[in-house]
Amino acid sequence: NGHKTAAVHSLHYHHGYGGGGEVTRGLIDHSRTRGMYSADIYVSGHIHRRNYDENIITMMSSRGIVHQRQQLFLRCASYKAETDGWHAEKGRAARPIGGWWLQFKGFKDKNDWCVVPSAAATS
């Protein structure tokens, strides 16, 4: 039919912060960032853990229409093996290696096209 549709997803990257405790594994930091940024996808690192968390955010448009959107939180793991050096000397365990591939899948929902992001871990 010749119609073109564009989908826009915002991605916010931050180096990351915090200590990534053994119990919370950095997910408390995610709860904090949800209140500070309104990106569809938030990517960080710093604590060398690999986390994936998906949320549904309820929002109101400028026209007063309530809608929901998906939000992904991705924390990248380490990009080097940490079996010795400072990390091991501090008594910290080895961390996973790798990042994330973002995938965007489109589908038709009733009369509208939707694009849904998802992530797959790399190693």
Tell me, rounded to whole angstroms, the distance of Cα 110 from its chain centroid.
Answer: 28
Total tally of structural domains belonging to the chain: 1
Query: What is the pTM assigned to this prediction?
Result: 0.76
- Tell me if 52 is assigned to some domain: yes
Q: In the chain, what are the helix, strand and coil shares in percent, each to the nearest 5?
A: 10, 40, 50
By residue range, what is the domain housing residue 90?
11-97
Q: 28 - beta bridge partners?
A: none
- Tell me if 29 is assigned to some domain: yes
Is residue 115 a contact partner of residue 106, using CB atoms and an 8 Å limit? yes
Residue pLDDT, tens place only, 9-41:
888 888 888 777 777 777 787 777 777 778 889
- Tell me if 3 is assigned to some domain: no
How many C-beta atoms surround the C-beta of residue 57 within 10 A?
12
Show Cβ contacts of residue 63 under 8 Å, excluding neighbours closer than 6 positions. Answer: none
H and E: helices and strands count for the chain? 2, 6
- Tell me if 106 is assigned to some domain: no
Identify the pLDDT of residue 120: 84
Average pLDDT estimate for 96-116 = 81
